[in-house]
A = this chain, B = another copy of it.
């Protein structure tokens, strides 16, 4: 069972493969191919179960209609949802998405970039790792369409889709303050990510403006040792004097692990300690108490990123940074058990 190519069809019908190509691409109007032959070709293609070779086409036309998506870790709920939506929108516009994971490592990001370049992607959507600014600068200088999502390097002037990290974090921290917390902790990454830093800055500013900021209450954890570091951070916070009575978590992975750690330490969440989490999690809906969280407009982020990227691919060359608004969700306590 050998592969069916344009030539196979052409030969069986005794015509040239050029004609077959024209018909199969719908370019047989304006008297290029007779109605009669068109139909014969279409029928034969269907009959033979012809599947075009996209590789050959891409090679010839110099566009692959493929987008490289580079994210940290596809099994993370945030990135998984982002990837799903990006794929859906891309598909609607006729593009395929190749997904690469970096695991937050620069070397893996570098590898994925080269790998995807070799596969002739027409553009990139990237959630860049720490210290990837040089790599991004190189990419950007080579003029390949590029959009950053979730994170950015402001000094680099690359298209970016972000949320209002500072503002939403400020506002969310205010909520904790308004609930009466006097000694609020922040758990954030040690890593240097613009978006995480903005969240931290927002929280810190809210505390400062309320006159209750205490630098000792900021705990930094490492991505590679998330569980251990968060456990330690929580332990410190609850054994400090005075004990922390509110915590702002700056990312989804920190949030969920933070909550786990609190519970492990027999802390009565939302009673002993008020918390504020980043990103939605199924878990928050089944806890016996309300967990307020910051909900990112993932679908909109995906749509905007795809729109920006495809505009670039199709020739637009202005640089844009789109800031979408995250939402503070304070759902009521679901049950009383």
Contact = CB atoms under 8 A, between A and B. Distances in A.
Interface of A: 1, 51-56, 58-59, 64, 73-77, 80-81, 83-84, 87-88, 96-99, 101, 114-115, 117-120, 142-143, 256, 259-260, 263-264, 266, 268, 281-283, 285-288, 334-337
Contact of A260 (B53, B96, B285): B285
A28 B256 CA distance: 53
Contacts of A256: 282, 286
Given A51-B117, A119-B96, A283-B283, A75 B84 contact: yes
Nearest to A52: B118
A170 to B, nearest CB: 27
A264 B87 contact: no
Given A81-B75, A84-B73, A266-B336, A59 B51 contact: no
Copies in the complex: 2
Nearest to A100: B87
Given A54-B120, A266-B335, A84 B77 contact: no
A91 to B, nearest CB: 9
Given A117-B51, A118-B53, A260-B286, A87 B99 contact: yes
Contacts of A260: 282, 285-286
Given A53-B118, A55-B55, A336-B266, A75 B77 contact: yes
Nearest to A284: B283
